[in-house]
């Protein structure tokens, strides 16, 4: 086995979204997947990728806005399905923190899959490459026992073979695209909208409730965080708020405004002349509209006044109400599709 590295692979940036003042693809798994697909195919429709995977419809909130919320879901159920929905079979190797007895076996299995994938010209999407985010393995050097990597910030780095799955967070998650599958466009759309409804209703597994919330209930927790923050600021105790909180708030705003922009775009694209999906799309456009001020505010990463925080909490609640209406239209579309 000799040294192998995928050349000229660059981190994918949705330039069109950026030019419109939107965050682009924010979730590091989906950004890694977008980078891999763009490298493999030379083209990418980011709205289709985000919508078909149902990541455009997901929201994760922690009670103290901990960034860990973006990874508190069932990796094995959601991540391979995102690749399958994009039209490819998926090799997926996973080990959680409570499966220590499988650590060496799964690391060896993942390593073999990574090498095989890179030999085919396919980067591997791997958890905790750096900064407790997903990134890409794009090469390997058996003599030095190192992987060549690309972090979620698009920076080249390296990872020792033995650090795979234990680079700080003791979880192994490796996803590699395979051959094209045979999912038809109609099936992909139906599955994505089913997942959107399931997520809204909290039927996708999430760990550690009530500390973490997803679906429509996540909006309630998110707004509550802003209300509490406003109370602390208005009581003259703003100095007690940790300096990381504005940064965490920006992380949340970027994630959730980003995906709702893609939900809006995806629904518009698949609606065509279907009146029900047109209605769903219009409500998700409203969701994005209400979340934009949250993103705009925290893009500056400064401590806002209490009045601003209360206003943003109302924006979040308005976004929740609009999404609730959008989900109702999606349910109706799914019901009609079964007839």
Same domain, 190 and 211: yes
Asked whether residue 199 is domain-assigned, the answer is: yes
pLDDT value at position 145? 97
- Where is 13: in which H helix or E strand? none
Q: What tens digit of pLDDT does each residue of 282-331 get?
A: 999 999 999 999 999 998 777 899 999 999 999 999 999 999 999 999 99
Same domain, 136 and 10: yes
The b-or-e profile of 232-260 (16+ CB within 10 A means b, else e) is ebeeeeeeeeeeebbebbbbbbbbbbbbb
pLDDT value at position 241? 80
pLDDT value at position 9? 96
Same domain, 15 and 141: yes
DSSP output for 182-203: ---HHHHHHHHHHHHHHHHTT-
Q: What tens digit of pLDDT does each residue of 64-80 get?
A: 999 999 999 999 999 99
Asked whether residue 82 is domain-assigned, the answer is: no
Same domain, 176 and 120: yes
Same domain, 25 and 154: yes
pLDDT value at position 134? 97
**Total domain count for the chain?**
2
Asked whether residue 172 is domain-assigned, the answer is: yes
- How far apart CA 60 and CA 322 sit, in angstroms, is 17
The b-or-e profile of 29-55 (16+ CB within 10 A means b, else e) is bbbbbbbbbbbbeeebebbbbbbbbbb
Q: In this structure, what are the phi and psi dihedrals at residue 80, rounded to the nearest 5 degrees?
A: -60, -35
Q: Which two tokens stand for residue 107?
A: 């690391």
Asked whether residue 73 is domain-assigned, the answer is: no
Same domain, 15 and 112: yes
**CA 257 to chain CA mean position, Å:** 12
DSSP output for 19-45: HTT---S-SHHHHHHHHHHHHHHS---
Examine the fold and report which residue of 163, 180, 197 is the final residue of a domain before the chain moves on.
180
Asked whether residue 67 is domain-assigned, the answer is: no
Asked whether residue 51 is domain-assigned, the answer is: no
For the chain, residues with pLDDT lower than 70 are 1, 339
pLDDT value at position 1? 66
Q: How many CA atoms lie within 13 A of 65 on its CB side?
A: 24
pLDDT value at position 206? 83
Domain that holds residue 16: 4-44+88-180
Q: Choose among 265, 287, 288: nearest CA to 277.
A: 265
Q: Which two tokens stand for residue 314?
A: 């109302």
- How far apart CA 292 and CA 236 sit, in angstroms, is 28
pLDDT value at position 339? 59
């Amino acid at each position: 086995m000799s040294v192998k590295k995928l050349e000229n692979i660059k981190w994918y940036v949705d330039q069109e979204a950026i030019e419109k003042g939107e965050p682009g693809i924010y979730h590091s798994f989906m950004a890694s997947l977008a980078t891999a697909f763009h490298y493999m195919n030379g083209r990418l429709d980011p709205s289709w990728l985000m919508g078909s995977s149902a990541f455009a419809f997901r929201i994760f909130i922690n009670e103290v806005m901990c960034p860990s919320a973006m990874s508190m879901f069932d990796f094995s159920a959601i991540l391979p399905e995102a690749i399958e929905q994009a039209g490819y079979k998926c090799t997926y190797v996973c080990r959680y923190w409570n499966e220590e007895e499988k650590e060496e076996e799964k690391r060896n299995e993942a390593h073999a899959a990574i090498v095989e994938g890179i030999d085919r010209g396919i980067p591997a999407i791997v958890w905790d490459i750096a900064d407790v985010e997903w990134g890409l393995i794009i090469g390997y050097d058996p003599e030095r026992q190192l992987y060549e990597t690309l972090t979620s910030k698009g920076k080249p780095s390296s990872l020792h073979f033995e650090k795979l799955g234990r680079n700080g967070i003791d979880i192994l998650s490796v996803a590699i695209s395979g051959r094209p599958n045979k999912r038809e466009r109609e099936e992909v759309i139906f599955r994505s909208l089913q997942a959107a409804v399931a997520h809204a209703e909290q039927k996708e597994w999430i760990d550690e409730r009530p500390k973490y919330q997803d679906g429509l209930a996540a909006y309630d927790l998110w707004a509550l965080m802003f209300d509490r923050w406003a109370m602390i600021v208005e009581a003259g105790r703003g100095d007690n708020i940790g300096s990381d909180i504005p940064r965490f708030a920006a992380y949340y705003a970027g994630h959730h405004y980003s995906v709702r922009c893609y939900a809006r775009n995806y629904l518009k694209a698949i609606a065509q002349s279907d009146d029900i999906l047109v209605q769903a799309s219009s409500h998700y456009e409203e969701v994005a509209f209400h979340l934009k001020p949250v993103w705009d505010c925290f893009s500056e990463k400064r401590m806002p006044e209490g009045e601003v925080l209360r206003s943003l909490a109302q924006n979040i609640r308005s976004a929740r109400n609009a999404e609730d209406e959008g989900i109702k239209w999606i349910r109706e579309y799914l019901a009609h599709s079964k007839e």
